[in-house]
Structure 1
Amino acid sequence: MEKATKIANVLSKYLPEGTEDYVTSLFLSYPVSFKIVRPRKTKQGDFRTPLPGSKPQITINGNLNVFAFLITTIHEFAHLKTWMEYNNRVKPHGAEWKNNFIRLMHPVIQLAILPRDIEQALLNSFMNMKASSCTDIQLQRVLKKYDVFSSGEILLEKLPKYATFALDTKVFMKGELRRTRFLCTEVGTGKQYLIYKLATVEHITE
C-alpha cells in the first residue's frame, strides 16, 4: 500500500485528477522501469525491451499536458503488454498492440473524467487506429488544445504561408504542406526541412 501511495503521489503531478490509481495499478501489475524525461522533439514517449538482467523501460516527456501524458503512458504500457505476450513476433503497432491499447484505455473512459472532445477523439481513433497517438492528427489536435503556450508560441499550422518562426534555435520560413508536415526553409542557409504541422513554434513578427 505504501508503494502504491508513493507512486500515485508522484503521478498526480502529471495526470488528470482521478486517474492516478488506475495508472498506479499498471505500474504494480507489470515489471517496468519508468522515467519522466526532458522534452524530445521526435517523440512523446518510448518503450524499450530489456537488456539481460534488467527491466523493460518506458520514458515519457515531462512537459506534456495531463491528458497527453495519460494517453502516451497507456500507449507505452500497451507496447509493454504486447511485448510480454508476443515478444518480438508481432509488428510494433500491429493488431495486437492496437487491441491492448484499447483494452488499457477502456477503464479510463469508464471513469468519465476525460473532456468530451478528447473522449470522442479517442473513440474515433479506436475505429481507425493509427500507429500512434502522435500520428492521429485529429486526436493530437484535440490534445494540443490543452497545452499551455508561452507568449509568442503557436502551432505551425496556424501560421500563414511564408511566415517566419523559430524552432530549436533555428529560424524558418513556412512553405507548402506535404501530408502532415510543412516544407520549411531555414533562413540563412536555405536548407529545407519537413516540420510536423502541429509543432509548437515561436512566431517571429516584423
Structure 2
Amino acid sequence: MRIPLLKYIPEKAIPLVEYLIIEHKINLKIVSQRQTKHGDFRRLPNGHMQITVNNNLNPYQFLLTLIHEIAHHVTYQKFGKVQPHGKEWKTVFQHLMLPFLQPEIYPTDILPYLANYLKNPKASTDTDVNLSLALRRGQSENGKNFIFEIPNGSVFQFKDTLYKRGNKRRTRFECLNLSNNRVYLFNQNAEVKLVTST
C-alpha cells in the first residue's frame, strides 16, 4: 500500500522521495507522536528494515526526519553496522539531502539554517535551536510554549514534572525541578506547558 506523501511532505519533494523509497526498498510506517523522537530506523526480527516517522510533524520537519532515517537505512546497506551518527551516516545524509535544498521545497527562511546544520549534522535537529525554531515556523504545539517565551520564575510542566524557570545561561535555561529541588538545563526551544506565570 502506498502512503499518500502529499499529506506529509512538500509537493515538489514527492518525486525525489518516491525515487528513494523505491530505489532502497524502504518500508515506511507513519506512527503517532512519540515524546522522545521524531523518527527511527530499525532492523526487524525477520531481517526487513523499517523506518517510522511521527504523524504530527509539519511537512518541513517530516521531510528532514524521513531523509535522516533513509540515510540510516542506506548507511546500513553500504557499510553494515557502524556508529549510528558517525562519519559514514553524515556523508550519506548530506548527499541525500542536497537535492532537497531548493526554495521550491524549503522556504528561504529555513534554507540558511538547514545548510548550516548539514555541514555537521547531529543525531537530532532539536539540538540546533535556530533550525528547530525555523522548521517549526515559530509555532509550538497546541497549548504549549517555547521555554524562552515564558517569564522568569514561572512554573511549567514538562513530561509530567513541574519546574520553575530560572536564568538563561549562554544557550540554555536553568530550571528548578520542584519534586527533587535539583536544577536542570533546558534548551531554549523546549516546549513546555505554562502552569503559573509570575
Does the alignment reach a TM-score above 0.5?
yes
Counterpart-to-counterpart distance in 2, 1:141 and 1:174: 20
1:190 to 163, 177, 181: 181
2:110 to 118, 122, 144: 118
What is the number of equivalent residue pairs in this alignment? 197
Counterpart-to-counterpart distance in 1, 2:67 and 2:120: 18
2:163 to 161, 166, 172: 172
TM-score w.r.t. length of structure 2 = 0.84
Q: What is the SS of the residue equivalent to 1:115?
A: coil
Name the residue aligned to 1:25: 19
Q: Residues 95-125 of structure 1: CA distance to partner in whole angstroms, max 9, x if unpaired? A: 2111111111122124732111211111112
Q: What is the SS of the residue equivalent to 1:134?
A: helix
Name the residue aligned to 1:16: 10
Name the residue aligned to 1:84: 77
- Judged with a 3 Å threshold, the aligned counterparts in structure 2 of structure 1 residues 172 and 45 are, in CA distance, closer, same or farther, namely same
The alpha carbon displacement at 1:202 in A equals 1.8
Structural RMSD (CA): 2.5
Unmatched segments (≥5 aa) in structure 1: none
- Judged with a 3 Å threshold, the aligned counterparts in structure 2 of structure 1 residues 154 and 73 are, in CA distance, closer, same or farther, namely same
Counterpart-to-counterpart distance in 2, 1:180 and 1:76: 28
Q: Which amino acid aligns with 1:35?
A: K
Alignment of 1:105 onto 2:101: no
The alpha carbon displacement at 1:144 in A equals 2.4
Alignment of 1:69 onto 2:62: yes
Is the 2:125–2:132 contact (alpha carbons within 8 Å) kept by the matching residues of 1? yes
Runs of 4+ in structure 1 displaced over 6 angstroms?
A: none
1:136 to 128, 142, 157: 128
Is the 1:31–1:55 contact (alpha carbons within 8 Å) kept by the matching residues of 2? no
TM-score w.r.t. length of structure 1 = 0.82
Name the residue aligned to 2:196: 205
Is the 1:65–1:146 contact (alpha carbons within 8 Å) kept by the matching residues of 2? no
Alignment of 1:46 onto 2:40: yes
Q: Which amino acid aligns with 1:155?
A: F
Is the 1:121–1:139 contact (alpha carbons within 8 Å) kept by the matching residues of 2? yes
Unmatched segments (≥5 aa) in structure 2: none
Is the 1:65–1:147 contact (alpha carbons within 8 Å) kept by the matching residues of 2? no
2:142 to 143, 146, 150: 150
- Judged with a 3 Å threshold, the aligned counterparts in structure 2 of structure 1 residues 46 and 179 are, in CA distance, closer, same or farther, namely farther
Name the residue aligned to 1:58: 51
The alpha carbon displacement at 1:81 in A equals 0.5
Q: What is the SS of the residue equivalent to 1:198?
A: coil
Range 189-198 or range 154-163, more displaced: 189-198
